[in-house]
Amino acid sequence: MAQTAPSLSSTEIAKIAERLNRARKPIVLVGLMGVGKTTVGRKLASLLGRDFIDSDAAIEEAAQRSIAEIFEAHGEDYFRAGERRVIARLIEEAQGVIATGGGAFVDDETRALILEQAIAVWIDCSVETLVERTSRKNTRPLLKTGDPHEILSELSRTREPFYSQSQIRVESMDGPHEHTALRIIESLDQWL
């Protein structure tokens, strides 16, 4: 099902961006792998005239190794502690848009940090859409261990209670990612 395009003029977007700037909080995108946090985040940042950063890319740059290598060498607890430090730094440094890894918001300390110092936006979508989107690339280690539909269904079920604590929730459906970015801007306007 394709999304209909939200109707926001560039003047309306500029006014919302100005109000966001006064709030002095970055927008942190959370949600499962494949919802479009990075793609939507780039578009959202562009529309709002903000910087964009992907926390996974920042973690890899800081560690000088891939997330898979960090997990393999040190385990998830070590990775989550490093992830929290990087996200805290990104929140402190910028008023931009930050895309997080799918598990970041599940960590209690990271979630508390984001909810206190940023605006958490949960991008949600159907498991069927996630399966289709994640099948385009073979770079998702979690999906290599079994049936992607089963894995994504279980992740959705177990992570929803965490994601639902976000200040804003936006549904991502088939259609241009710009539509999701515009829906986020509409939701931010209502939230502010």
Q: Is residue 76 in some structural domain?
A: yes
Tell the burial category of 67 from Cβ atoms under 10 Å away from its Cβ (0-12, 13-18, 19+).
middle
Structural domain that includes position 66: 10-185
Q: Determine if the pTM surpasses 0.75.
A: yes
pLDDT score of 123: 97
Between the two ends of the chain, the Cα-to-Cα distance in Å is 29
Q: Is residue 67 in some structural domain?
A: yes
Q: Is residue 1 in some structural domain?
A: no
Domain count, the chain: 1
Contact 109, 103 (CB under 8 A): no
Residue that the structure tokens 């395009």 belong to: 5
pLDDT score of 23: 87
Residue that the structure tokens 């003047």 belong to: 11
Q: Is residue 153 in some structural domain?
A: yes
pLDDT score of 88: 95
Q: Is residue 143 in some structural domain?
A: yes
Q: Is residue 58 in some structural domain?
A: yes
Contact 168, 121 (CB under 8 A): yes
**Rounded distance between C-alpha atoms, residue 170 and residue 122, angstroms:** 6
CATH of the domain at 57: 3.40.50.300
pLDDT score of 1: 47
What angle do the packed helices 37-48 and 10-23 form, to 10 degrees? 100
Structure tokens belonging to residue 81? 């502690």
Average pLDDT, 10 consecutive residues per value, the chain (192 residues): 69 92 93 92 96 94 89 88 94 91 94 97 93 72 74 94 97 85 94 89
Q: Is residue 25 in some structural domain?
A: yes
Could you tell me what percentage of the chain is helix, strand and coil, using 3-state DSSP and rounding each to the nearest 5? 60, 10, 25
Residue that the structure tokens 């984001």 belong to: 114
Q: Is residue 4 in some structural domain?
A: no
pLDDT score of 168: 97
Amino acid at 103: G
Structure tokens belonging to residue 83? 């992830």
